């Protein structure tokens, strides 16, 4: 290799332009300001470690006295997640089709549906749970309704993106042979989007399982209510049992969903 | 009729091409992408039952011309009559109805990958059967039988249940041809139907395609880079260069040296 060739080789790293440099500085300043704003202090964290250890010690050994009602509440939590995800994902499908401009009957319809899906996604599930507790009363039905709305917010967006990213070739071929819009969606778009949609639904089930724990804290059913009661009465060994049960459920759902996803994508 | 070759200038179609009823008639088609005119005043007429090969180098405007004929690409200027219908003036529904009568075979076959071969062929009836043709499982028995018959014609009935994304390139293109036959088209447009295949498979598929379209008596307009295909399977060869028609001649072996100039 000649020295000339070495000299002509491009630089390993491009020098950032003035705009890029300023953007990096601004981002760094924002992070530093945020850390100061929240009073981030490693020292205080280290000082608090003995208190954390004392709390953790109170959790052990976990109590098995009320194992049966805890497992029943855990089952209820899982059923809320399954029902909420199933209904939410099903309702997401037509909404996602309408949210894609190319398949929507009108641009305003696509915009309105996108807005609705965004609203469902941006309002926290805890707020939806409070809303439905007021509507249908305490219990798992309110929690399930909150999960339905949350799932639509999540699945609606990703289903629509999967449809938008579907290969245009088969769609063009079916359009060329005189297929209508709905026939193209059913014949070419949905088959292409199905793996992503199933993956998204399984992610949604994992998310709903975690969420359904928190929803119980506002009286929307499931094991969260048991956790709330145990913590309120300082019954830490029972709280430990509940936390371990939740951990086992979430882990099981994640493992099962990952195995299913791999199988479907393959 | 002798070859009409004009370098750099548009030409009217050769006299024989305008005799008899024209099923495809383009007049002064212009299509620009940005500042580049991919089609620059193309006029072309194809009679019923005629088989015409469109040749030209990459970027000459062959694919754009085919797409403009059925408005998969909207032309900027010019008029097209397809099966007697003024394509440019048709509303969405009327255009969809017209497209049902026109088969289109793509270079990349454009099958639906996760569906079976049979479902892909049944899709050919989407225009006339609507949602009954979205999947072989919901299709009426008559449609399924017709689809199997179309697969038989391309020699792939045994693969009816196989997924389309497991087929070889040649098999995929045969399925695409079966899908087009399922449409019962009156006109067939084919955009380099064998360009993605190896020479042996390309030869085989092109011969099959030509035979089947001849048997069905459909008007055929296909683009190709292969001079031997243009000469062997077309009645007429039309050459495009820089978005203009510069050749319009009957296909015969003596045309080979002229065609070679398009790829120099």
Whether A186 contacts chain B with CB within 8 A: yes
Is B73 in the same domain as B139?
A: no
Considering the domain architecture, whether residues B59 and B123 belong to the same structural domain is answered as no
ipTM comes to: 0.86
For residue B173, being part of any structural domain is answered with no
Residue B2 clears pLDDT 90, i.e. is over it: no
User: Rounded to an integer, what is the distance from CA A113 to the centroid of its chain?
Assistant: 20
CA distance B36 to chain A (A): 24
Band the pLDDT of B5: cuts 50, 70, 90. low
Q: What percent of chain B has pLDDT over 90?
A: 64
In a domain, B172, yes or no: no
Which residues on chain B are in Cβ contact (under 8 Å) with A180? 96, 126, 130
pLDDT tens-digit series, residues A51-110: 999 989 998 899 888 899 999 999 999 999 999 999 999 999 999 999 999 999 999 999
**Comparing B120 with B49, which gets the higher pLDDT?**
B120
- Check A191 against B115: CB less than 8 A apart: yes
Pairs of CB atoms within 8 A across A/B = 82
Q: Is the pLDDT of residue B260 over 90?
A: no
Residue with tokens 């003596």: B254
Cβ–Cβ below 8 Å for A187 and B135: yes
Closest of B165, B58, B157, B183 to residue B108, by C-alpha: B165
B171 within domain boundaries: no
Q: Which residue from B116, B214, B210 is spatially nearest to B171, judged by alpha carbons?
A: B116
My answer on whether B99 and B126 are in the same domain is no
pLDDT value at position A1?
Answer: 58
Is there a domain that residue B175 lies in? no
Grouping H, G, I as helix, E, B as strand and the rest as coil, residue A10 is: coil
* Mean pLDDT along residues A174-179: 94
Chain B environment of A176 (Cβ under 8 Å): 70, 72, 99, 102, 104
Residue B110 to residue A178, Cβ atoms within 8 A:
no
Q: Is A126 on the interface with B (CB under 8 A)?
A: no
Residue of A nearest to B185 (CA): A177
In a shared domain, residues B208 and B87: yes
Residue range of the domain that includes B122: 112-166
Cα B184-B185-B189 angle, rounded to 5 deg: 140
Contact across the interface for A177 and B104, Cβ inside 8 Å: yes
Judge contact between B248 and B258, C-beta under 8 A: no
More confident residue, A210 or A92: A92
DSSP lists the bridge partners of residue B81 as B25, B86
> Does one domain contain both B19 and B141?
no
Q: What angle do CA A194, B193, A170 make, to 5 degrees?
A: 15
> Which of chain B's residues have a Cβ under 8 Å away from the Cβ of A173?
104, 106, 110-111, 176, 179
Average pLDDT, chain B: 88
**Domain match, B116 and B106 both:** no
Helix axes A190-215, A236-265, angle to 10 degrees: 180
Is A188 near chain B, with CB under 8 Å?
Answer: yes
B42 & B57 share domain: yes
Segment B134-157, tens digit of pLDDT: 999 999 999 999 999 999 988 899
Helix axes A125-136, A190-215, angle to 10 degrees: 70
Query: How far is B87 from B66, CA to CA, in rounded Å?
Result: 13
**Structure confidence at residue B8 as a pLDDT band (50, 70, 90):** very low
Predicted confidence at residue B14, as pLDDT, reads 44
If you ran DSSP here, which 8-state letter would residue A218 be given?
A: G
Do residue B66 and residue B159 come from a single domain?
no
Q: Which residues of B touch A195 (CB under 8 A)?
A: 114
B89 and B196 housed in the same domain: yes
> By the CB < 8 Å criterion, does B106 face chain A?
yes
Shortest Cα distance from B115 to chain A (angstroms)? 7
Are residues B119 and B250 located together in one domain of the fold? Answer: no
Residue A198 contacts B where some CB pair is shorter than 8 Å: no
Residues B20, B51, single domain; the answer is: yes
What does the DSSP assignment read for chain B? ---EE-TTS--PPPGGGGSS-EEEEEEEEEEEETTEEEEEEEEEEEETT-EEEEE--TTSSHHHHHHHHTTSS--SEEEEEETTEEGGG--HHHHHHHHTTEEEE-TT----TTSBHHHHHHGGGHHHHGGGGS-TTTS-HHHHHHHHHHHHHTT-GGGTTSBGGGS-HHHHHHHHHHHHHHT--SEEEEESTTTTS-HHHHHHHHHHHHHHHHHHT-EEEEEES-HHHHHHH-SEEEEEETTEEEEEEE--GGGHHHHHGGG-
3-state secondary structure of A114: helix
Report the pLDDT value the prediction gives residue A258, as an integer from 0 to 100.
87
Q: What percent of chain B has pLDDT over 70?
A: 92
**Nearest neighbour of A182 by CB, restricted to B104, B123, B131:** B131
At CA A146, angle to CA A140 and CA A151, rounded to 5? 120
Is residue B177 included in any domain, yes or no?
Answer: no
- Could you tell me if residue B201 is inside a domain? yes
A141-164 residues labelled b (16+ CB within 10 A) or e (exposed): bbbbbbbbbbbbbbbbbbbbbbbe
B122 and B249 in a single domain? The answer is no
pLDDT at B16 over 70: no
- For residue A20, give every residue at least 6 positions away whose Cβ sits within 8 Å of its Cβ, in sequence order, or none: none
Q: Is residue B77 part of a domain?
A: yes
> Pick from B110, B126, B180: which is nearest to A169 by CB?
B110
Number of domains in chain B: 2
- Closest residue in B to A170 (Cα) is B110
SS3 A139: coil
Which residues, in sequence order, are bridge partners of residue B24? B46, B82
Residue range A113-165, pLDDT digits in tens: 999 999 999 999 889 999 999 999 988 999 999 999 999 999 999 999 999 99
- Select the residue of B101, B113, B123 nearest A174 (Cβ to Cβ): B123
Distance of CA A119 to CAs A81, A103, A153, A158, Å? 21, 21, 7, 15
What span, in angstroms and rounded, lies between the C-alpha atoms of B235 and B259?
15
On the question of a cis peptide bond just before residue A61, with omega within 30 degrees of 0, the verdict is: yes
Distance from CA of B86 to the nearest CA of A (A): 16
Is B42 exposed, middle or buried, given 0-12, 13-18 or 19+ CB atoms closer than 10 A? Answer: buried
Hunting for tokens 């990703």 — which residue is that? A158
Output the six-digit token pair for B247: 């050749």
């Amino acid at each position: 290799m000649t020295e000339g060739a070495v000299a002509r080789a491009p630089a390993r790293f491009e020098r950032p332009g003035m705009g890029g440099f300023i953007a990096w500085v601004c981002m760094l300043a924002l992070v530093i300001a945020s850390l100061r704003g929240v009073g981030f202090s490693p020292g205080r964290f280290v000082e608090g470690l003995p208190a954390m250890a004392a709390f953790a010690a109170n959790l052990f050994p976990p109590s098995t006295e009320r194992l049966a009602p805890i497992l029943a509440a855990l089952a209820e939590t899982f059923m809320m997640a399954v029902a909420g995800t199933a209904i939410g994902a099903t309702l997401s499908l037509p909404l996602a089709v309408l949210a894609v401009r190319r398949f929507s009957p009108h641009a305003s319809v696509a915009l309105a549906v996108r807005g609705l899906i965004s609203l469902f996604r941006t309002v926290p599930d805890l707020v939806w749970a409070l809303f439905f507790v007021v509507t249908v009363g305490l219990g798992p039905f309110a929690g399930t309704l909150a999960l339905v709305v949350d799932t639509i917010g999540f699945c609606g967006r990703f289903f629509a993106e999967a449809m938008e990213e579907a290969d245009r070739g088969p769609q063009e071929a079916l359009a060329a042979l005189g297929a209508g819009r709905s026939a193209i969606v059913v014949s070419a778009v949905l088959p292409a989007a199905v793996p992503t949609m199933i993956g998204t639904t399984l992610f949604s089930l994992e998310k709903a399982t975690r969420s359904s724990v928190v929803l119980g804290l506002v009286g929307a059913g499931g094991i969260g209510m048991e956790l709330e009661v145990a913590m309120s009465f300082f019954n830490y060994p029972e709280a430990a049992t509940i936390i371990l049960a939740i951990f086992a459920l979430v882990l099981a759902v994640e493992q099962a969903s990952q195995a299913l996803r791999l199988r479907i994508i393959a | 009729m002798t070859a009409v070759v004009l370098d750099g200038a548009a030409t009217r179609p050769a006299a024989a091409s305008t005799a008899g009823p024209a099923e495809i008639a383009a007049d002064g088609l212009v299509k620009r992408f940005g500042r580049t005119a991919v089609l620059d005043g193309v006029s072309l007429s194809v009679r019923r039952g005629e088989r015409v090969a469109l040749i030209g180098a990459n970027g000459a405007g062959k694919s754009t011309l085919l797409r403009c004929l059925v408005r998969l690409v909207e032309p900027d200027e010019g008029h097209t009559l397809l099966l007697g219908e003024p394509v440019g003036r048709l509303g969405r529904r009327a255009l969809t109805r017209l497209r049902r009568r026109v088969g289109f075979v793509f270079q990349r076959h454009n099958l639906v990958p996760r569906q079976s071969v049979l479902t892909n062929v049944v899709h050919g009836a989407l225009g006339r059967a609507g949602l009954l043709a979205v999947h072989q499982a919901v299709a009426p028995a008559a449609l399924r039988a017709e689809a199997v018959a179309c697969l038989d014609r391309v020699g792939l009935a045994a693969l009816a249940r196989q997924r389309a994304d497991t087929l070889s390139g040649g098999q995929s293109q045969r399925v695409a041809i079966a899908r087009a036959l399922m449409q019962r088209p009156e006109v067939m447009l084919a955009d380099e139907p064998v360009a993605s295949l190896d020479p042996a498979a390309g030869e085989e598929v092109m011969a099959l395609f030509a035979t089947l379209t001849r048997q069905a008596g459909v008007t055929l307009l296909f683009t190709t880079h292969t001079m031997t295909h243009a000469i062997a399977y077309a009645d007429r060869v039309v050459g495009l260069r820089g978005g203009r028609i510069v050749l319009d001649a009957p296909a015969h072996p003596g045309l080979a040296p002229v065609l070679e100039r398009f790829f120099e």
